Amino acid sequence: MSYRIALTAITLRELRRFLSQRGRFFAALVRPLVWLVVFAAGFRAALGLSIIPPYQTYITYEVYITPGLCGMILLFAGMQNALSLVYDREMGTMRLLLSSPLPRPFILFAKLFAGTVVAVAQVYAFLVVALLIGVDIPLSGLAFILPALILSGMMLGSLGLLLSATISRLENFAGVMNFVIFPMFFLSTALYPLWKMAESSPLLRDICAMNPFSHAVELIRFALYGQIAPVPLLVVLGCGAVFFALAVFFYDPRRGLQRSKA
């Protein structure tokens, strides 16, 4: 009962915090829509309209990059959640939270889960707008992608949690966020399939294939059409477990507080 109450309270706190920050919601929605509406027009000419594998169907480039943009939302949301963790640690909030009788791994998991719930809500808001502007997304896929979004959000949120556990100052985190977000996004299958990357450079293709974010995107992409991608599923689960275990191991709620006192 205490675990459920704590999980619910932390989740509601994160939802209230997000809803009170309307600019954050607007930015989370506009960023992928700009890519979908503006940049897709230029990329479409380079890639072409016909993308067959793994769907065995003809789809537009806007439909192809939609799962990648869902992954972008999860990635940015995971880093934003990590940023709030660094802030809470510097303000001493996390020390108070971790002083509860509940174990530290559960408290961190609850923060991670709460951030993922907020991120998934942002993804569905984006998908609704994408449908309204004419992107041909299968309606059944909106239900199929929910488990993929949760697993991918947990993995990317765990990566952000790991980064927040190793960074002591709030002002240092913004640079680290950019250093992680942009290489992960652009060196992935979010915008181009692997076979298109291979045409440019086999090394680039290998980097994209090893990128955990690529597997998160492919997990969402297959789920959108009611399919399960075994390899991306295993990679997302494995990387998420490793990132979270390392974050729990390295997390020290006193790190930022000690620096500020010094």
Contact in structure between 59 and 51 (CB atoms under 8 Å): yes
How remote is the C-alpha of 240 from its chain's centroid?
A: 11
pLDDT 10s digits, 134-178 = 888 888 889 999 999 999 999 999 998 888 887 766 666 667 777
Q: 124 CB contacts (<8 Å, ≥6 apart)? A: 142
Element (H, E) at 98: helix 93-98
**DSSP for 120-146, written as a single string:** HHHHHHHHHHHHHTT----TTHHHHHH
SS3 at position 51: coil
Dihedral-angle region of residue 228 (phi above 0 means left; psi in -120 to 50 means alpha; beta otherwise): beta
pLDDT 10s digits, 75-131 = 988 888 887 777 777 766 666 676 677 788 888 898 899 889 999 999 999 999 999
**Which pLDDT score is estimated for 92?**
63
- Note the pTM of the prediction, 2 decimals: 0.85
**DSSP for 191-253, written as a single string:** TS-HHHHHHH-HHHHHHHHH-HHHHHHHHHHHHHTT---HHHHHHHHHHHHHHHHHHHHH--T
